[in-house]
């Protein structure tokens, strides 16, 4: 157990639907990062939050949004889902940007 | 934007052989991190390099940061089957950005 909790572990949904992925960071970590990993692909940075505020944005689609709550957990919302959104979505946390990331076990999203 | 490439994309080695993966950034980095992702798993932080020319060792793994802070390498001596996985570098761009851009990864297979 890495200390970063992601739920759900698996999600199957239809095109056009909306889903919410949840992440609880490791205790004491203020930063949360979201990454997308498609089959046999690298890790694409989506967005970072630090202590409740958005700090950096990557190639995140307009259909995707995220937030970090006062208790530091984060949610990634994916809407108007397309087949191409099928991927593994990782959340990671760190104390700040000078420390290595601790990744959760990911949410595998399948859009059918 | 910042791009981080790794070569080779795949590498098959016989157990006991050495392995090296190279990481190249399109921009100068403030620091670089290395991660290992086992098949079906999540990335696990290995190490962070900060100084120009820095070399760090972890048992059979040797990490190097280039003098210009635009490239890095990971060398594994006498590979073992437990080394199987994908190795990612992740670079943080110099100049105040907070996100790490992950490299394309090198998938290592070790044949017993």
For chain A, the DSSP string reads: --S-EEE-SEEEE-TT--EEEEEEPPTT--EEEEEEE-TT--EEEEEEEETTEEEEE-S--TTEEEEE-TTS-EEEEE-S--GGG-EEEEEEEESSTTS--EE---EEEEE-
Task: Give the pLDDT score at B95.
Answer: 72
Dump pLDDT digits (tens) for A34-64. 999 997 678 999 999 999 999 989 889 999 9
A contacts of B102 (beta carbons < 8 Å): 35, 42-45
Q: For B101, which residue in chain A has the nearest alpha carbon?
A: A45
The structure tokens 């979201």 sit at A34
The mean predicted confidence, pLDDT, of chain A is 93
* Residue from A101, A102, A106 to probe the interface with B (highest B Cβ count within 10 Å): A101
- Whether B77 and chain A come into contact, CB under 8 Å, resolves to no
- A10/B101: higher pLDDT: A10
Per-residue pLDDT for A27 more than 70?
A: yes
- Whether B97 and chain A come into contact, CB under 8 Å, resolves to yes
Dump pLDDT digits (tens) for B67-82. 999 999 999 999 999 9
Question: pLDDT band at B94, cuts 50/70/90?
Answer: confident
Question: pLDDT band at B64, cuts 50/70/90?
Answer: very high
Per-residue pLDDT for A97 more than 90?
A: no
């Amino acid at each position: 157990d890495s200390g970063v909790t992601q739920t759900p572990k698996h999600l199957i949904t239809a095109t056009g639907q909306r889903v919410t992925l949840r992440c609880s960071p490791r205790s004491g970590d203020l930063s949360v990062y979201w990454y997308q990993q498609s089959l046999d692909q690298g890790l694409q940075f989506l967005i970072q939050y630090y202590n409740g505020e958005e700090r950096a944005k990557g190639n995140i689609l307009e259909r995707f949004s995220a937030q970090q709550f006062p208790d530091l957990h984060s949610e990634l919302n994916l809407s108007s889902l397309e087949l191409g959104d099928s991927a593994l979505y990782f959340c990671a946390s760190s104390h700040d940007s000078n420390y290595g990331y601790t990744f959760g076990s990911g949410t595998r999203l399948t859009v059918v | 934007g910042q791009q981080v490439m790794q070569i080779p994309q795949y590498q098959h080695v016989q157990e006991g052989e050495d392995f090296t993966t190279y990481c190249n950034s399109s921009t100068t980095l403030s620091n670089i991190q290395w991660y290992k992702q086992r098949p079906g798993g999540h990335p696990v932080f290995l190490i962070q390099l900060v100084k120009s020319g820095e070399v760090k060792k972890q048992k059979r793994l040797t990490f190097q940061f280039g003098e210009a802070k635009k490239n890095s390498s990971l060398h594994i001596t006498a590979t073992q089957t437990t080394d199987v996985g994908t190795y990612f570098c992740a670079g943080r761009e110099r100049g105040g950005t907070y996100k790490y851009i992950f490299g394309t990864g090198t998938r290592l297979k070790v044949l017993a």
